[in-house]
Chains A and B, each alone.
Chain A
Amino acid sequence: MTFRLDQLPKKRYVIPGNAACAGCGMMIGLKILGMALGDESVLVIPASCASVVQGLAPKTGLAFPILNVPFASSAAVATGIAEAYKALGVRGHVVVWAGDGGTADIGFATLSGAAERNSNVIYVMYDNEAYMNTGIQRSSSTPRSAWTTTTPSGKRERRKDVALLMAMHGVPYVATASIAYPHDFYRKLKRAAEVEGFRFIHLQTPCPPGWRFDPAKTVEVARLAVETGAWILWEYDKGVLKVNPPSDRFADKSKRRPLVEYVKLQGRFAHLSESDIKALEEEIEERWRLILALSSALNQR
């Protein structure tokens, strides 16, 4: 699929005057979602930054139909809407827009249930890598060593890889994406929209106050995550797993930018020693090995 960004729909789904923080990566993601699925979608949003930055009821800063729901329920509520639409003959996409806490932690049971049922839902996990709405507490998607208010000396555990876990549920479509690569995210949303069943997109969305960087640098930080190999863009489409551009060339470790460039921009990693960074690098390399092994094992159709 080829397209030009300036030819994407002009209708704005994220309206100026909403309550998001300056430089919010999640809002960039929502803009792209609007371009890709816009009028075809109904959003289910659990407790998260996304549930509060909409603007204040009875008004809204997002031009989607939105049902805001309790933290753990979104995948099941979306199942209900999708099943109702099937029964009532309504066409459209039911999209969950949920944060990492609502997805990887408290919402994981309903998420896994919906995936196992293969419910006709597009689930986007926008990952700002902590509970940002309640003020930067660690989630199971927080990377190792990152400072949060509940891991004051840095998180000791590795990150739970929800996208891989979703692929292992055997759902038809799983992808990772980054707000720094809108073409890639847009294409993945469009592809997800073509597929029936449970679809999962794991979108990395840097958070200036939570990661402690200059709000002007959101896209730069997100791009560095990919260029240093810390965030890998891949896609699992009906049993085939592929690493996507630009991540594919970073399979070669020598092509990656040094991890320190990504880390040094963020206050949440300010306490890291050289050996901490090295340990992080090793963990990233381990993830690459796993993704590449899966990709070569799952490349036949």
Chain B
Amino acid sequence: MTALLKTALTGNHAVAYAVKMAKPHVIAAYPITPQTTIVEKLAEFVERGELKARFINVESEYGAMSVVYGAAMAGARVFTATSSHGLLYMYEMTWWAALSRAPIVMAVATRTIGPIWNIHVEHNDILTLRDSGWLIAMAETAQEAFDLTIQAFKIAESAVLPVSVGIDGFVLSHSTEPVEVPPQEVVDSFLPPRRADVPLLLRPGEPITFGNLPSDNRIHARYKIEAVYRAQQEAKDVVVQADREYGKLTGRSYGGLVEWYRAEDAEDVVVCAGAWCSDAKRAVDALRSRDIPVGLLRLRFIRPFPTEEVKRLSQYRRAVVFDRDITPLGGVLGVELKAAVPDAEVVNIVAGIAGVDFDAEAFYRVISNAVEGRYRGVEFVV
């Protein structure tokens, strides 16, 4: 490995630098807070000639997703970024893209969905992708935002599925942290050029049709099962492999789909995803220093869902699942973990939604209550 650049970047700029080093052909963007500084930085790179990409300003997020979809289907490496209502506005196209197996990479600076208007962090936006076929990754730090974005291109183009990289709005998107940027040749050796013929080759003079009505609904059913279910299962190996290979090249590996933290001898395990896992880890450390045996499971990927990995939760007394999102049934991760590990005792804490501050101290307090058995089912902490 040649000279490393150690620098200070916001989460959003870490994503922008990673995208630049992945050398996409086409970037489409529409402004939305707190995503905007990602594409502003990329526009600057393109303007200054540091990145030879087509940068397309569009009339809406629906247009952004449509542009990168078309470009990906034509064989280009593509990127877009969004947040909150922007993601909901492009929602129709996100499903069409996933079922077309379009290898799109999209950063989602996660943000609350209204009403009322609120620009602060929440995970409900990115989690709307969970049934669509998209992969969903969640970064913990600006460094991981960088690393995940590079990995996302490899994963998207190997698994032939779109990948979203979640970075917590403001908490991560606008906080500056030290980031190690690998040399370009390391990224180049990790990321081979995009294959233009997968999922299909769309070229003048070569008749091929995609997306017309099926002659037999069973053909459609089989194809959908392959696109949604089987492709997600196959993507698990791709994610693990990419993380391992990236680790060999850069010295940074995160454990693949999940990261276990001080869980070996734990009695209770905290489960969470995103930037607040750092706060949760600090709370775990503090509890450990008082001989309270808690560990942590960080979901790096929510799709593909790490079914095999989370099965281990049944070995512990209790899983304390933190959700920064809310559904009529509780939190998304709480509901999903209960379904995936029915024999585990799951306590679901819904906290920090709508950008309500939830720091290491709050984690400490709530985890303490949970290990003392004060919570049952779903608990809301505001």
User: Could you say which residues of chain A place their CB within 8 Å of the CB of B208?
Assistant: 65-66
CB of B92 within 8 A of CB of A52, answer no
Chain B CB within 10 Å — which of A52, A62, A63, A117 has the most? A117
User: Could you say which residues of chain B place their CB within 8 Å of the CB of A91?
Assistant: 204
Chain B CB within 10 Å — which of A76, A78, A80, A81 has the most? A80
In the assembled complex, how far is the CB of residue B230 from the closest CB belonging to chain A, in whole angstroms?
Answer: 19
**Distance, CA A46 to CA B60, complexed state (A):** 18
Partner pick for B59 among A56, A82, A113, CB 8 A cutoff: A113
CB of B75 within 8 A of CB of A84, answer yes
Q: Which of A23-31, A36-44, A177-185 contacts B (4 or more CB under 8 A)?
A: A36-44
User: Could you say which residues of chain B place their CB within 8 Å of the CB of A66?
Assistant: 207-212
**Distance, CA A69 to CA B93, complexed state (A):** 9
| Residue-wise interface mask of A (89-114) relative to B, using a CB-CB cutoff of 8 A (1 in contact, 0 not) | 01111000000000000000110110
A238 at the interface (CB under 8 A from B): no
**Distance, CA A68 to CA B73, complexed state (A):** 11
Interface range, A side: 35 or more
CB of A87 within 8 A of CB of B62, answer no
CB of A52 within 8 A of CB of B74, answer no
CB of B73 within 8 A of CB of A56, answer no
A67 at the interface (CB under 8 A from B): yes
A116 at the interface (CB under 8 A from B): yes
Partner pick for B66 among A42, A63, A64, A73, CB 8 A cutoff: A73
B196 at the interface (CB under 8 A from A): yes
In the assembled complex, how far is the CB of residue A86 from the closest CB belonging to chain B, in whole angstroms?
Answer: 6
SS of B interface (majority): mixed
User: Could you say which residues of chain A place their CB within 8 Å of the CB of B72?
Assistant: 80, 84
A55 at the interface (CB under 8 A from B): yes
B330 at the interface (CB under 8 A from A): no
CB of B67 within 8 A of CB of A79, answer yes
User: Could you say which residues of chain A place their CB within 8 Å of the CB of B75?
Assistant: 84, 88, 90
CB of B205 within 8 A of CB of A92, answer yes
Given contacts A67-B211, A110-B66, whether A76 and B206 have CB atoms under 8 Å apart is no
CB of A90 within 8 A of CB of B74, answer yes
In the assembled complex, how far is the CB of residue B187 from the closest CB belonging to chain A, in whole angstroms?
Answer: 19
CB of A72 within 8 A of CB of B209, answer no
Q: Which of B213-221, B263-271, B295-303, B320-328 contacts A (4 or more CB under 8 A)?
A: B213-221
User: Could you say which residues of chain A place their CB within 8 Å of the CB of B261?
Assistant: none
User: Could you say which residues of chain A place their CB within 8 Å of the CB of B53?
Assistant: 87
A301 at the interface (CB under 8 A from B): no
**Distance, CA A82 to CA B54, complexed state (A):** 10
Given contacts A57-B212, A77-B66, whether A83 and B205 have CB atoms under 8 Å apart is no
CB of B67 within 8 A of CB of A76, answer yes
A54 at the interface (CB under 8 A from B): yes
CB of A81 within 8 A of CB of B74, answer yes
User: Could you say which residues of chain B place their CB within 8 Å of the CB of A109?
Assistant: 59-60, 62-63
CB of A87 within 8 A of CB of B93, answer no
CB of A57 within 8 A of CB of B202, answer no
**Distance, CA A75 to CA B276, complexed state (A):** 40
User: Could you say which residues of chain A place their CB within 8 Å of the CB of B196?
Assistant: 88
CB of A58 within 8 A of CB of B70, answer no
CB of B215 within 8 A of CB of A58, answer yes
A70 at the interface (CB under 8 A from B): yes
A51 at the interface (CB under 8 A from B): yes
For residue B93, which residue of chain A has the nearest CB? A73
CB of A110 within 8 A of CB of B70, answer no
CB of B70 within 8 A of CB of A56, answer no
**Distance, CA A82 to CA B25, complexed state (A):** 12
User: Could you say which residues of chain B place their CB within 8 Å of the CB of A59?
Assistant: 215
B378 at the interface (CB under 8 A from A): no
User: Could you say which residues of chain B place their CB within 8 Å of the CB of A64?
Assistant: 207, 209
CB of B63 within 8 A of CB of A68, answer no
CB of B96 within 8 A of CB of A87, answer no
Given contacts A109-B60, A110-B59, whether A76 and B66 have CB atoms under 8 Å apart is yes
User: Could you say which residues of chain B place their CB within 8 Å of the CB of A40?
Assistant: 204-205
**Distance, CA A93 to CA B205, complexed state (A):** 11
A137 at the interface (CB under 8 A from B): no
CB of B212 within 8 A of CB of A52, answer yes
CB of B70 within 8 A of CB of A80, answer yes
B283 at the interface (CB under 8 A from A): no
User: Could you say which residues of chain A place their CB within 8 Å of the CB of B70?
Assistant: 44, 67, 69, 76-84
B28 at the interface (CB under 8 A from A): yes
CB of A113 within 8 A of CB of B60, answer yes
In the assembled complex, how far is the CB of residue B41 from the closest CB belonging to chain A, in whole angstroms?
Answer: 20
CB of B215 within 8 A of CB of A86, answer no
User: Could you say which residues of chain A place their CB within 8 Å of the CB of B213?
Assistant: 51-52, 54, 56-57
CB of B205 within 8 A of CB of A117, answer no
B71 at the interface (CB under 8 A from A): yes
CB of B59 within 8 A of CB of A73, answer no
CB of A39 within 8 A of CB of B204, answer yes
CB of A87 within 8 A of CB of B76, answer yes
Partner pick for B74 among A63, A88, A113, A116, CB 8 A cutoff: A88
**Distance, CA A59 to CA B215, complexed state (A):** 8
Given contacts A56-B213, A79-B67, A80-B74, whether A70 and B204 have CB atoms under 8 Å apart is no
| Residue-wise interface mask of B (66-99) relative to A, using a CB-CB cutoff of 8 A (1 in contact, 0 not) | 1111111111101000000000000011001000
22 pairs from A and B in contact (CB 8 Å cutoff)? A40-B205, A41-B204, A51-B211, A51-B213, A56-B212, A64-B209, A68-B209, A69-B70, A72-B92, A76-B63, A76-B64, A79-B58, A79-B67, A80-B72, A80-B76, A84-B75, A87-B26, A109-B59, A109-B60, A110-B59, A113-B59, A117-B56
Given contact pairs A80-B72, A84-B71, enumerate 5 new A-B contacts (beta carbons under 8 Å): A56-B213, A66-B207, A69-B70, A86-B54, A88-B25
